[in-house]
Amino acid sequence: MELAGYLASFLVGISLGLVGGGGSILMVPVLVYLFGITPVSATAYSLFVVGATSLVGAIPKIKQDLVSFRTALIFGAPSIVAVFLTRKYLVPAIPDVVLRWDPILVTRSTFLMLLFGMIMTAAAVSMLTGRECVDCEENEQQRFRVPLIVLEGILVGTLTGLVGAGGGFLIIPALVKLSKLSMKKAVGTSLVIIAAKSLIGFSGDVHAGAATIDYRLLVSVTALAVLGILAGNGVSKKVDGEKLKRGFGWMVLIMGIYIVIAEANGL
């Protein structure tokens, strides 16, 4: 199972490079089901892997001037605060038994995985039904809806802290609609935001002692994911992006439904 986990980590990186986001949502299931890590610890591992791979992916975007640092600051600052506080205070405060209603027993691990499965399903539906315009609004002057951007940043940060996903599937549409960024610039800006809030969220876990970290495993998984994103970036130039997005969306949908059913059957 560990060998399958390492292979899956590489594939997660490839998916990030191919579709430009969303691959991080697969990391928690890989860690839980293939490496046997508890959901709480898996979300911590995922934050680091997601942060590191997003940082690597953001570097070429910065060089290509496809990052709006002003937007990253307005959206990212409240998001970073939210994810840090969520990991340090909210996650440890979740009781070991969330709901006891005989014969139903919902533990903290089950609750987190059910939440994650539902978010995966919602993300997949968004990817399969959403319409994206790559070149629209390139020449439109950027304008900010600051209160909405700040609120969205807080919500995405809290979500990231709870389930360990980068939240790119929420960030990118928000940046396009609320900040009037072009799609290409929204992707680059999203990578910077995800990298910052994920790594800071992981540091909150380490500081609070909320998760037991096997650093050798963490570094190995991260290295494979980084290699994957580099490979995926190269392949993405030769493959139709819309087909990749839809294929990835169906894969995430199937996994999300599987997680919800598996966890619900265990109640």
List, as one string, the DSSP characters of 71-127. Answer: HHHHHHHHHHHHHHHIIIIIHHHS-SEEEEETTEEEEHHHHHHHHHHHHHHHHHHHH
- Of 79, 118, 76, 113, the C-alpha closest to 98 is 113
| Cβ 62 vs Cβ 188: under 8 Å | yes
Quote the strand ranges of the chain, DSSP E: 97-101, 104-107
The model's pTM is 0.73
Length of the chain: 267
* Token code pair at residue 265: 């059957």
The pLDDT score that the predictor gives to residue 264 is: 84
Residue 261 belongs to what domain range?
2-265
Where on the phi/psi map is residue 145: left (φ > 0), alpha (ψ -120 to 50), or beta? Answer: beta
The pLDDT score that the predictor gives to residue 88 is: 80
The pLDDT score that the predictor gives to residue 138 is: 47
Q: What is the domain count for the chain? A: 1
Q: List, in sequence order, every residue forming a beta bridge with 107; answer none if it has no partner.
A: 97
Q: What is the pLDDT of residues 155-173, one digit of tens each?
A: 888 887 887 666 666 677 7
The pLDDT score that the predictor gives to residue 161 is: 80
The residues of the chain scoring below 50 in pLDDT are: 133-140
| Cβ 23 vs Cβ 46: under 8 Å | no
Give the CA distances from residue 81 to residues 78, 87, 140, 193, in Å, rounded to whole numbers and listed in that order: 5, 10, 31, 12
Look up tokens 């549409």; give the residue: 173
The pLDDT score that the predictor gives to residue 15 is: 73
| Cβ 16 vs Cβ 190: under 8 Å | no
The pLDDT score that the predictor gives to residue 136 is: 46
The pLDDT score that the predictor gives to residue 240 is: 67
